[in-house]
Amino acid sequence: MKKLTFISWNVNGIRAVAKKEALKWIDETEVDFLGLQEIKAEADQIPETIFDRQFKFQSINASSKKGQSGVALFTDIKGEAYACDHVDILDEGRINEYHFGNIAFFNVYFPNGQSSEERLAYKLSFYERFLEHINTLRDEGKSIIVCGDVNTAHKPIDLARPKANEGTSGFLPIERAWMDKLIANGYVDTFRHLHGDIPDRYSWWSYRAGARGRNVGWRIDYFFVSEDLKERIVEAEILDDIMGSDHCPVKLVLEI
């Protein structure tokens, strides 16, 4: 077996991050898969200078809505990229699906439900379509790895002010219930698996009122793996010292 390192980061605009040179740390980092969310760019708009390292393979899924959403995957491991249009039915550039060996890897920017009741309904339907899809692949014999911005904090421990946000999309009972369902279906929250109920560990902070400096945040960026990979989890970390976005990266190391 060898160790594979996966990094996931909602960059909130890859061109803005490039201007800050906030992805240059990748050049000094062991990483086999880099999944970026909310790139807000077409493939030809991604600056070549985001990092110096040249990955052999990349998969860019831009949104049909210019300047919104979008995901990008970079790796040196040969595999096959798949469209996931039956989940991302509005063509918002939300999923990279990449199969290598016996593994189906997903880099996902799940919808935000805060803008309207309609968007909340779409977020919940997206959740259900996605779970059905990964369950189908798992039933076909694939191991599953999912990373990305889930846009929901699972438990009260996963945000600084749970009481104040009980009525806010991102911490609604119906959204959290889907995360319960995901885990009940045999998927493992890798960070909690290794670290238990360690408090005050977040991956997103509002730009308002100095929230990051005061660590008033939410843990909404995750790595999940199917149960068969649970014993192969080596590391699962939140890289909250990395700046450049309102999110920080999260990391997973697996023995494969």
Query: Residue 249 — very low, low, confident or very high, per pLDDT cuts 50/70/90?
Result: very high
Dihedral of CA 96/9/33/5: which sign? negative
Is 149 annotated to bind ligand?
yes
pTM of the full structure:
0.98
Query: Residue 243 — very low, low, confident or very high, per pLDDT cuts 50/70/90?
Result: very high
Of the candidates 103, 31, 44, 109, which has an alpha carbon nearest to the alpha carbon of residue 74? 31
Phi, psi at 82, each rounded to 5°: -125, 145
The whole-angstrom separation of Cα 57 and Cα 109 is 20
Domain positions in the chain are 3-255
Is 197 annotated to bind ligand?
no
The whole-angstrom separation of Cα 173 and Cα 150 is 15
Report pLDDT digits (tens) over 43-55: 999 998 999 999 9
* Residues above pLDDT 70, as percent of the chain: 100
Q: Hey, is 96 helix, strand or coil?
A: strand
Report pLDDT digits (tens) over 200-223: 999 999 999 999 999 999 999 999
The per-residue pLDDT for 6 is: 98
List the Cα angle 17/171/69 in 5-degree steps: 30
- For residue 241, the 8-state DSSP code is T
Report pLDDT digits (tens) over 93-108: 999 999 999 999 999 9
Report pLDDT digits (tens) over 161-199: 999 999 999 999 999 999 999 999 999 999 999 999 999
- For residue 4, the 8-state DSSP code is E
The per-residue pLDDT for 201 is: 98
* Residues above pLDDT 90, as percent of the chain: 98
DSSP 122-145: HHHHHHHHHHHHHHHHHHTT-EEE
Report pLDDT digits (tens) over 8-42: 999 999 999 999 999 999 999 999 999 999 999 99
The per-residue pLDDT for 50 is: 96
Is 102 annotated to bind ligand?
no
The per-residue pLDDT for 130 is: 99
Which strands sit side by side in the sheet containing 103-109, from one edge to the other?
Answer: 80-82, 95-100, 103-109, 143-149, 221-226, 187-189
HSE value, Cβ hemisphere, 13 Å, CA-based, for 236: 23
Of the candidates 183, 104, 118, 198, which has an alpha carbon nearest to the alpha carbon of residue 150? 183
Is 165 annotated to bind ligand?
no
β-bridge mates for residue 61, sequence order: 71
Of the candidates 81, 79, 74, 36, which has an alpha carbon nearest to the alpha carbon of residue 52? 74
Report pLDDT digits (tens) over 98-142: 999 999 999 999 999 999 999 999 999 999 999 999 999 999 999
3-state helix, strand, coil split of the chain in percent (to 5) is 25, 30, 45
Task: Give catalytic residues, as residue numbers.
Answer: 109, 149, 247
Give exposure, 235-253, as e/b (b: 16+ Cβ within 10 Å): ebbbebebebbbbbbbbbb
3-255 carries CATH number 3.40.50.720: no
β-bridge mates for residue 31, sequence order: none
Report pLDDT digits (tens) over 140-159: 999 999 999 999 999 999 99
Cβ atoms 41, 63 nearer than 8 A: no
